[in-house]
Amino acid sequence: MQSIKTVFIAAIIIVASSAIPAMALDSNWTITGQLRPRFEYRNGYRQLLPPHENDQVAFVSQRSRIGMVYTGEKKLKVVLQVQDVRTWGDETHTSNDATADKFDLHQGYLDLMPHERWTLRIGRQEIAYDEERLIGTGNWNQPGRVHDAFLVMWRKGKAQAHAGWAHHETGELISGAPYPNNSNYQDLAFWRLSSACEKGSVNGLLIFDSYGPSSSPPNRWTGGLYSTLMWSGVSWRGEAYYQTGKHDGSEPILNRRDRYDIRSFMIGLSAERKFGRSGATIWYDYLSGDDDHEDARFESFNPLYGTFHKYYGFADYFISFPSDTRGLGLQDLALKCAFGGPSIAKTQVDLHYFWLAELSPEINVNNRHLGFEADVMLTIPILKTVSLSGGASLVLPTETMRTLKGQADQGHWFWTMLDFNVK
């Protein structure tokens, strides 16, 4: 494996070094790149630390990406992007560790455009729809999220239709074998229709995903609508999704292992008002929960492959569903404020109040209220391609939150990040 990765890296370097001089004379090629080191101090990130324990940590993670985009032919586009993601110090030794185990192909896809309205995209790609609620890039995480997929895109005016498909195996098989990767789907298919006008948009999304026989759920359908409307100077958003399929009960929060029916849903509403370069948004989300783990239905909604960091608080207490709420669902009422400052600096302040959608005596939870989270983030542009950002989060839990997330009076964390990005 080490030799394969070494050869792969050498090939990338050779191709890039030979291509860059040509790019200087050929506008068909462009170079993209990103360097993003981030320092974090964690003392209650993702979980409440037990009292009287010194478990806080500090570290630096780094994303390093370089890519090439070819647009030399009218009906063709090629994107190649590699990345290295690591925490400073996680190599055995910088002078003798040549495994390249953090190096990967982030994107590598081909766009074919047989007609001005049609595009066929084939390969490893980022996919994001509708503010990344159910499918997103996960950009806060240093690795991000991509899909090895085939995508068909059609556009006419402000109307669009997309259809995508992905299938996973562990290698070039000769005979059928179960897909053993429980953390990733084996099959994914989705269909999206969207239409927009001057005042807003309506988008429909239907997603099918299935997992291997030892995974949960074996298969699942998720569908719904996302809509926006500009009215009386306020930007309104509403969305609703329903989830159905079969579940095999292998989640650790459940007590059964036989299949039973998924019946879950979510709704999301928001209203945003801008005041020059500032603005305020009031936000409410409801993700259904399951109050009876022994009956024939599974009612806890899973938001699939979305970008959760931007929705349920920057401290990321709710990014793994259904386990983060023990299958009891989630309600989130938030006020999000953005303030524009000098030199286009931006301050964001988010206030969240969380409570459960359901109660369950099986998990010893008798109160829905989870607690309060306050997030603040400041972003300062330094150069055209460089920005400096930082933020902090404070979590004030209730007893119910402590039951789910650990026995501590509060949780907090701090981060700062430098981002060089050439697109």
* Percent of the chain scoring above 90 in pLDDT: 67
C-alpha torsion 174→179→185→191, nearest 10: 40
d(CA 140, CA 419): 12
Contact present, 410 and 374 (Cβ < 8 Å): no
Q: Is the dihedral of CA 215, 217, 218, 224 positive or negative?
A: negative
Q: Please give the full DSSP string across 250-311, using - where no structure is assigned.
A: -STT-S--S-EEEEEEEEEEEEEEEETTEEEEEEEEEE---S-TTSSEE-----TB--GGGT
Radius of gyration of the chain (CA): 23
pLDDT of residue 168: 92
Distance of CA 38 to the CA centre of its chain: 18
Q: Which two tokens stand for residue 364?
A: 């010893």
- Work out the average pLDDT over 142-157: 97
Segment among 149-163, 244-258, 320-334 with least mean pLDDT = 244-258
- Residue 124 has which token pair? 């490893």
Q: What is the pLDDT of residue 25?
A: 47
The Cα 389–Cα 396 span in angstroms is 24
Of residues 131 and 295, the one with the higher pLDDT is 131
Q: How far is CA 116 from CA 75, 98, 110, 112, 155, in A?
A: 9, 46, 16, 10, 8
Selection from 150, 163, 152, 162 nearest residue 124 by Cα:
150
Residue 239: is its pLDDT beyond 90? yes
Which amino acid is present at 309? H
pTM, 2 dp: 0.90
- The CA-to-CA distance between both ends of the chain, in Å, stands at 32
Percent of the chain with pLDDT over 70: 89
Residue 338 in contact with residue 278, Cβ under 8 Å?
A: yes
- Longest CA–CA span in the chain (Å) reads 69
Determine the Cα–Cα distance for residues 403 and 313; give it in Å rounded to an integer: 19
d(CA 129, CA 162): 10
Q: Which of 19-33, 37-51, 193-207 has the highest mean pLDDT?
A: 193-207
415: domain CATH number is 2.40.160.100
Instruction: Return left, alpha or beta for 293; rule: phi > 0 is left, psi -120 to 50 is alpha, else beta.
Output: alpha
Q: Tell me the three state secondary structure of residue 12.
A: helix
Answer whether 376's CB lies under 8 Å from 407's CB.
no
* pLDDT at 117 exceeding the cut of 90: yes
Q: What are phi and psi of 139, to 5 degrees?
A: -65, -25
Classify 321 in phi/psi space as left (phi over 0), alpha (psi -120 to 50) or beta. Answer: beta
Q: Work out the pLDDT band at 258, boundaries 50, 70, 90.
A: low
Average the pLDDT over 202-206 and give the result.
98
Q: Return the amino acid letter for 125.
A: Q
Looking up tokens 């291509």 gives 19
Task: Decide if 39 contacts 58 (C-beta within 8 A).
Answer: yes
User: Whats the size of the chain, residue-wise?
Assistant: 423
Q: Bridge partners of 277?
A: none
pLDDT on residue 251: 58
Is the peptide bond between 213 and the residue preceding it cis, with omega within 30 degrees of 0?
no
- The answer to whether residue 3 scores a pLDDT higher than 90 is no
* pLDDT of res. 95: 73
Please provide residue 100's backbone torsions phi and psi, each rounded to the nearest 5 degrees.
55, 35
- Give tens-digit pLDDT for 344-387: 899 999 999 999 999 987 778 889 999 999 999 999 999 999 99
Tell me: pLDDT of 9 over 60: no
**247 pLDDT above the threshold of 90:** no
What is the total count of domains within the chain?
1
Residue 281 has pLDDT above 70, yes or no: yes
Place of tokens 């990344």: 132
Q: Which residue's entry shows tokens 């085939």? A: 150
What average pLDDT does the chain have? 89
Average pLDDT over residues 59-88: 95
pLDDT digits (tens, 9 = 90+) for 120-130: 999 999 999 99
Residue 17 is predicted with a pLDDT of 52
Report phi then psi at 264, rounded to 5. Answer: -140, 165
Q: Domain span at residue 8?
A: 2-173+182-422
Please give the pLDDT value at position 24.
47
Predicted pLDDT of residue 15: 54
Cα 337 to Cα 316: distance, rounded to the nearest angstrom: 19
Q: Is the per-residue pLDDT at 402 higher than 70?
A: yes
Q: What pLDDT is stored for residue 91 in this prediction?
A: 81
